[in-house]
Structure 1
Amino acid sequence: MRNILVFVLFAAMVCWMMFSPIYKHVLIARQAVLQQETDYLLEVGASGSYGYIDAAMMEQSRERLEAFGVQPELVDFEVTADNGLMATDAASPLPRGTGIMLSMSYPYEDLFQIDRLIGLTPPPPGSRMRTFGMKMSEFMP
């Protein structure tokens, strides 16, 4: 009986050690891709040509993220301005010096379920990884 218990515990530890680096790599890669896309959207949206981040830019962002294996419908965007104005309205771009803040989020999608083998509790099902960035608008009316 003791040998069976030792075997089961040992097998669980071996499985966790083998697969743990893989899902952590996926987590780090997703976080990096989301942050890169956040920075890119802010760079484009805050440029002198735009001064906003609209729905079309967000849709293009989703398409780019899909190329990295992200499910585009699960990506959430939050675009705000530091002065309370709409940062998503192409008809009224934010003037120079106004901060555009962008937050993107994506669910963890059961990446931490294997941690249950060693007794760690995974994040709740609704948890999301988040990226954030802020850039000052360069738009000159």
Structure 2
Amino acid sequence: MRNILVFVLFAAMVCWMMFSPIYKHVLIARQAVLQQETDYLLEVGASGSYGYIDTAMMERSRERLAAFGMQPELVQYEVTADNGLAATDPASPLPRGTGIMLKMSYPYENLFQIDRLIGLAPVSPDSRMRTFGLKMSEYMP
């Protein structure tokens, strides 16, 4: 009986050690892609041509993220301006010097379920990885 218990525990540890690096690489890659997309949207949205981040830009962003294997409908965007104005309205772009803040989030999607094998509690299902960026608008009317 003791041999069976040792085998089961050893098998669980071997499985965790084999697959643990894989899901951590997926996590790191998703976080990097999300931060890269945040930086890109801010670079485009705060440029002298725009001064806003509208829903069309967010939809194109979702398409780019889908190319990396993320589910586009699960990505959440929060765009604000540091002066309280709307940062998503193409009709009134933010003037030069106004900060555009972008927060993006994406769920972990059960990446930590394998941690149960060694007794760690996985991340809750409603937890999300988040990225943040701030860039000053360069739009000149």
Give the TM-score normalised by structure 2. 0.99
Unaligned runs of 5+ in 2: none
Q: Percent identity?
A: 89
Partner secondary structure for residue 49 of structure 1? coil
* CA distance in 2: counterparts of 1:11 and 1:93, whole angstroms: 59
Q: Which 4+ residue blocks in structure 1 deviate beyond 3 angstroms?
A: none
**Aligned pairs (5 A) from 1:10-49:** 10-49=10-49
Question: Is 1:114 matched up with 2:77?
Answer: no
Q: CA deviation at 1:12?
A: 0.1
Q: Which residue matches 1:100?
A: 100
* CA distance in 1: counterparts of 2:71 and 2:30, whole angstroms: 11
Q: CA deviation at 1:123?
A: 1.0
**In angstroms, what is the RMSD of aligned CA positions?**
0.4
* CA distance in 2: counterparts of 1:111 and 1:48, whole angstroms: 40
Give the TM-score normalised by structure 1. 0.99
Q: CA deviation at 1:140?
A: 0.5
* CA distance in 2: counterparts of 1:81 and 1:13, whole angstroms: 48
* CA distance in 2: counterparts of 1:140 and 1:101, whole angstroms: 19
Q: CA deviation at 1:128?
A: 0.3
Partner secondary structure for residue 101 of structure 1? strand
* CA distance in 2: counterparts of 1:82 and 1:126, whole angstroms: 28
**Aligned pairs (5 A) from 1:63-82:** 63-82=63-82
Partner secondary structure for residue 131 of structure 1? strand
Count of aligned positions: 141
Unaligned runs of 5+ in 1: none
Which deviations, in whole Å up to 9, do the C-alpha atoms of 1:22-73 show, x marking residues without a partner?
Answer: 0000000000000000000000000000000000000000000000000000
Q: Which residue matches 1:135?
A: 135
Partner secondary structure for residue 48 of structure 1? coil
Question: Is 1:5 matched up with 2:5?
Answer: yes
- Amino acid in the other structure paired with 1:23: Y
